[in-house]
């Protein structure tokens, strides 16, 4: 009989896209996955899952109290969300629930506890989030994308499975080659070194302002440089103008849905330290300067950068230290062929787990009742 695995997800794409990858692997193994999604993006996530032939339904979510009024209502909202999740689980009758982190998944995790359904967790960051730390007391095991930062305490056994990433990324990294079509469209030359820059959904502004200033301070070294800059905004005129002023060719865009081409082109990356970004860097073996977003929840991006830096897998530069002058000095060292950057590329590959989705799927099936 096929095993049924419910997956509680929601929140941002950083939680949901790994969910899809795991669900597809479960289907490939003859299991029957069903998604329980919650949060602001639940409707579009259900539609995306259905286009891939995956069953998904919405469950209520709740937020932590942010004031005295919401604190009074919090127990009632929590219990209401858990009751709704219990009804869903009774209809599904899953053999296991996989919780993907974020408070969007907590009601389903609590409902699984009450229904006696085995619980497995997945954590993306090196500092386990509050939701997973809370529900870890009832979990059989937690699958980790990254090694946990020193001092992070978890109440269940853990195993490192890696971060499930999108198929186009995994396939491109398995057969890396210069992306001719993309390079021609972006005006890139194989004779220059390529810097890839992006800031993520929340932390783009600082990077968008600082990196072009750093490039302007390179002096003659800029002659060996070209830039791919994914800004996260449509207001790209000043950014493109700054690169032109520096005499550097730059492909400046809001985003690129086929970011694997940017990774294949890049010789160095400057970015934030989100878990997905770090795991993608590892997959492609790219040296990076990580500038963690200081306002990230519980400063988890700093934990990610710290774990990578401790293994010699990335340069960790706190935002307060990431001045245009300090970045320019790093870039000059890189352009001059500093050997430390080749060592970074070798070390970060040790964090890569290309078959992460398969490993999480196997873990779920092993613990399913």
- Statement: residue 208 has pLDDT above 80: yes
- 1-40 confidence digits (pLDDT tens): 799 999 999 777 777 889 999 999 999 999 999 999 988 8
Closest CA to 269 of 237, 278, 253, 223: 278
| Mean pLDDT, residues 206-233 | 94
Q: Whole-angstrom Cα distance, residue 69 to residue 67?
A: 6
User: What are the tokens at 329?
Assistant: 């000095």
| Mean pLDDT, residues 160-177 | 95
Q: What is the pTM for the complete model shown? A: 0.93
| Distance, first Cα to last Cα, the chain | 12
User: What is the DSSP code (8-state) at residue 152?
Assistant: -
pLDDT for res 73: 65
For 45-111, the three-class secondary structure string (H helix, E strand, C coil) is: HHHHHHHCCCEEEECCCCCCCCCHHHHHHHHHHHHHHHHHHHHHHHHHCCCEEEECCCCCCHHHHHH
Q: Whole-angstrom Cα distance, residue 365 to residue 369?
A: 8
pLDDT for res 164: 96
Q: Whole-angstrom Cα distance, residue 116 to residue 142?
A: 18
- 252-306 confidence digits (pLDDT tens): 999 999 999 999 999 999 999 999 999 999 999 999 999 999 999 999 999 999 9
Strands (E), 92-224: 96-99, 119-123, 141-144, 158-160, 193-198
Q: Whole-angstrom Cα distance, residue 112 to residue 167?
A: 30
Least confident of 71-75, 92-96, 122-126, 158-162: 71-75
| Mean pLDDT, residues 193-207 | 90
> Phi and psi (nearest 5°) for 58?
-95, 140
| Mean pLDDT, residues 120-130 | 96
- Statement: residue 358 has pLDDT above 80: yes
- Statement: residue 341 has pLDDT above 90: yes
Q: Whole-angstrom Cα distance, residue 89 to residue 93?
A: 6
Q: Whole-angstrom Cα distance, residue 102 to residue 123?
A: 9
| Mean pLDDT, residues 306-333 | 97
User: Helices (DSSP H) in 247-335: which residue ranges?
Assistant: 259-265, 275-284, 300-310, 324-335
Query: DSSP string spanning 324-366?
Result: HHHHHHHHHHHHTT-HHHHHHHHHHGGG--TTHHHHHHHHHHH
- Statement: residue 140 has pLDDT above 80: yes
Q: Whole-angstrom Cα distance, residue 243 to residue 339?
A: 26
Domains of the chain listed by start with CATH number? 4-163+354-367 (3.40.50.2000), 169-351 (3.40.50.2000)
């Amino acid at each position: 009989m096929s095993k049924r695995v419910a997956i509680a997800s929601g929140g941002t794409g950083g939680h949901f896209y790994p969910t899809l990858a795991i669900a597809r692997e479960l289907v490939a193994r003859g299991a029957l996955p069903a998604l329980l999604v919650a949060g602001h993006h639940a409707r579009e996530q259900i539609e995306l899952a259905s286009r891939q032939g995956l069953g998904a339904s919405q469950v209520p979510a709740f937020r932590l109290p942010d004031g005295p009024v919401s604190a009074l209502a919090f127990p009632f909202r929590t219990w209401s969300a858990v009751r709704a999740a219990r009804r869903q689980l009774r209809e599904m009758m899953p053999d296991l629930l996989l919780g993907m982190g974020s408070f969007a998944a907590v009601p389903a995790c609590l409902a699984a506890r009450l229904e006696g359904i085995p619980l497995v967790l997945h954590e993306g960051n090196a500092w386990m989030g509050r939701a997973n730390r809370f529900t870890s007391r009832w979990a059989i095991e937690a699958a980790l994308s990254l090694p946990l930062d020193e001092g992070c305490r978890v109440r269940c056994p853990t195993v490192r499975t890696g971060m499930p990433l999108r198929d186009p990324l995994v396939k491109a990294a398995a057969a890396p080659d210069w992306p001719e079509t993309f390079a021609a469209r972006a005006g890139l030359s194989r004779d220059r070194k390529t810097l890839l820059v992006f800031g993520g959904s929340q932390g783009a502004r600082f990077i968008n302002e600082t990196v072009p200033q750093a490039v302007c301070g390179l002096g003659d070294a800029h002659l060996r440089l070209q830039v791919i800059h994914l800004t996260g905004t449509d207001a790209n005129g000043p950014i493109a103008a700054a690169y032109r002023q520096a005499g550097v060719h730059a492909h400046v865009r809001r985003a690129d849905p086929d970011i694997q081409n940017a990774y294949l082109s890049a010789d160095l990356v400057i970015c934030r330290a989100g878990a997905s970004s770090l795991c993608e860097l590892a997959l492609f073996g790219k040296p990076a300067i990580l500038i963690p977003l200081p306002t990230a929840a519980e400063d988890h991006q700093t934990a990610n950068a710290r774990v990578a830096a401790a293994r010699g897998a990335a340069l960790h530069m706190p935002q307060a230290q990431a001045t245009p002058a300090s970045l320019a000095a790093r870039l000059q060292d890189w352009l001059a062929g500093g050997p430390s950057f080749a060592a970074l590329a070798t070390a970060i590959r040790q964090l890569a787990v290309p078959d992460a989705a398969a490993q999480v799927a196997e873990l779920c099936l092993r613990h399913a009742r």
